[in-house]
Amino acid sequence: MRKWLLAGLGWLVPVLFAAAQTPAQRYVDQQRQSGPLKGTAWGVLAVDRDGRTLCSYNPELRLMPASNLKLVTTGTALHAFGPDYRFPTELGYTGEIRDGVLVGDVYIIGHGDPTIGSPDSIATDTGRLFWLWKSLLRKAGIQAIDGRIVGHGAAYEGNLEHQSWSYDDLGTYYGSGSNALCFYQNAIDFQVKAAAEGQPVQLQQTYPETPWMHLENHTLTGGAGTGNSLYLYTTDLAPYSEMRGSFAIDRPPKTEHFANKFGALTCAYYFWKNLQDTGWNVTGGYADIDRNGRIRGADFVPREKAAEPRVVGQTQSAPLSEIARITNVRSDNFYAEALLRAMGEQATRIALYDSCLVAQREVLEDLGVAGGDIRIADGSGLSRMNYLSPEWLVSYLQAMQKSPAFGAFLASLPTPGEGTLSALLPKVEGRERLHIKSGSMDGVLCYSGYILGADGLPQVTLSIMTNNAIAKPAEVRAVLARLLKLLME
């Protein structure tokens, strides 16, 4: 009897275990055996607020998060600065004021505001911003300038971009990099139009103007169906750029966005231009500050060392909560890198990436999240040197729930139908309960975030990460969407 009973129990235990599995776990087990995820590196973890695991597979596997890393960047920035923080931009001058004429230079002193000149609705309109800056100068007694307008972005040291970013990404708008004084998110717009097959693509720079730049057009109009592979290759070391790649003859004209490595100089140029257009006399043109701390004008000849300006006032950005919202909904690399560099500058007075990551680790420690078994390289997730695990992301997202900034963090996450989630679960009832961030690049697709309960608080915390997929992105997305739907149910 005892042997029969033990044998029966041995048969019963796996049946009970199978019966206890959630639909989400059964679906995960099915996808391990067949489908678009077979043979890929992937992991998933979803837990409810009571600590029960709803599904799990390879939760400790470190994977590239792509833009899921922006969850870490925005959350730690909100925790460190507070949701109401605003980036200041100062106006100052050197020299002396004589009868309303400044005999010296006006300095626009950047402190990391990524929204200056941005077309985003949260940004101060450029015309109004320049009016505010002129008001500060008038208040200081300045009515004309016998000198230059100097864009001062030197508070952030080092390269604009992370050293691990792909060479092809460096000239794109999403790989533009951030510095202390930016303009138009350090982007340049070109109208591109196919010519005759085999001939250079027609290029017209539309905004912003960069009159100091020399552009070489090394593009070709490709045959029908060959797509678009235009890249702008440029550097902040010299005013020279090359447009390379091809644009198919059957493609309609479009506006393409590329990187501008001279945000501070562009800002100075546009303020100088506005002063001229509104009747101010400015004799010395516009300039910025090079890496050696020397003032250089449109001719790019370094001159005297920049002086310490006398600050006359400041303007401020939109609240950090609004910047974080755009960062996550649009998956904006530029804003994300600006937030990471601001953390480094505030904590260490150094905005080099190494210092920024040290500052971010301190914030993670304050949140109670261990950072020893992951690697973070940048703020946006553009680097392929970032490695997080679903388990770590879930622990981080749980820790954020205890932060005073959690309300702003949760509000920054998109729901299906918004931004990068515009095509996700379009007809699923209750999809507004899903607050997640997507992350994608070639072979990578991730979703991490929360499913809210009836009380508006996180009921489920989840992370789904896939790497090295060779299936079509739409096929991988369909599998992950089905898993999200099961977790919502």
Tens-level pLDDT at each residue, the chain (489 residues): 444 444 444 433 343 333 358 999 999 999 998 899 999 999 999 999 999 999 999 999 999 999 999 999 999 999 999 999 999 999 999 999 999 999 999 999 999 999 999 999 999 999 999 999 999 999 999 999 999 999 999 889 888 899 999 888 888 998 988 899 999 999 999 999 999 999 999 999 999 999 999 999 999 999 999 999 999 999 888 999 999 999 999 999 999 999 999 999 999 999 999 999 999 999 999 999 998 999 999 999 999 999 999 999 999 999 999 999 999 999 999 999 999 999 999 999 999 999 999 999 999 999 999 877 899 999 999 999 999 999 999 999 999 999 999 999 999 999 999 999 999 999 889 999 999 999 999 999 999 999 999 999 999 999 999 999 999 999 999 999 999 999 998
Closest C-alpha to 46, from 388, 373, 393:
393
pLDDT for position 20: 56
Characterize 239-270 residue by residue with b for buried, 16 or more Cβ atoms within 10 angstroms of its Cβ, and e for exposed.
Answer: bebebbbbbbbebeeeebbbbbbbbbbbbbbb
pLDDT, tens only, 375-412: 999 999 999 999 999 999 999 999 999 999 999 999 99
Tell me the C-alpha distance between 148 and 140, whole Å. Answer: 17
> Cβ of 485: how many Cβ atoms within 10 Å?
19
Query: What residues does 89 pair with on adjacent strands?
Result: 110, 315
Tell me the C-alpha distance between 480 and 434, whole Å. Answer: 13
pLDDT, tens only, 339-364: 999 999 999 999 999 999 999 999 99
Tell me the C-alpha distance between 92 and 308, whole Å. Answer: 9
Tell me the C-alpha distance between 44 and 54, whole Å. Answer: 10
CA distances from 409 to 78, 83, 297 (A): 7, 8, 41
Tell me the C-alpha distance between 327 and 419, whole Å. Answer: 10
Angle between helices 69-81 and 353-367 (to 10 degrees): 80
Instruction: Supply the pTM of this predicted model.
Output: 0.93
- Bridge-based pairing of strands 149-152 and 106-110 is parallel
Q: Which strands sit side by side in the sheet containing 96-98, from one edge to the other? A: 96-98, 101-103, 144-145
Write out the two tokens for 442: 């070639």
Closest C-alpha to 79, from 429, 409, 476, 467:
409
Tell me the C-alpha distance between 248 and 148, whole Å. Answer: 44
pLDDT for position 83: 98
Characterize 287-321 residue by residue with b for buried, 16 or more Cβ atoms within 10 angstroms of its Cβ, and e for exposed.
Answer: bbbbeeeebbbbebeeeeebeebeebbbbebbbbb
The enclosing H or E element of 359 equals helix 353-367
Q: Which domains does the chain have, with CATH numbers?
A: 24-83+320-488 (3.40.710.10), 88-157+263-316 (3.50.80.20), 174-259 (no CATH)
Residue found under tokens 């005892």: 2
pLDDT for position 177: 87
Tell me the C-alpha distance between 95 and 294, whole Å. Answer: 17
Q: Return all residues near 224 (Cβ < 8 A) that are at least 6 apart.
A: 248, 249, 250
pLDDT for position 6: 40
Tell me the C-alpha distance between 16 and 257, whole Å. Answer: 57
CA dihedral 304, 310, 312, 316 (to 10 degrees): 70
Closest C-alpha to 408, from 82, 107, 174, 133:
82
Closest C-alpha to 117, from 191, 209, 227:
209
With the C-alpha atoms ordered 255, 261, 267, 272, is the resulting torsion angle positive or negative? negative
pLDDT, tens only, 183-200: 999 999 999 999 999 999
With the C-alpha atoms ordered 413, 419, 423, 429, is the resulting torsion angle positive or negative? positive
pLDDT for position 290: 92
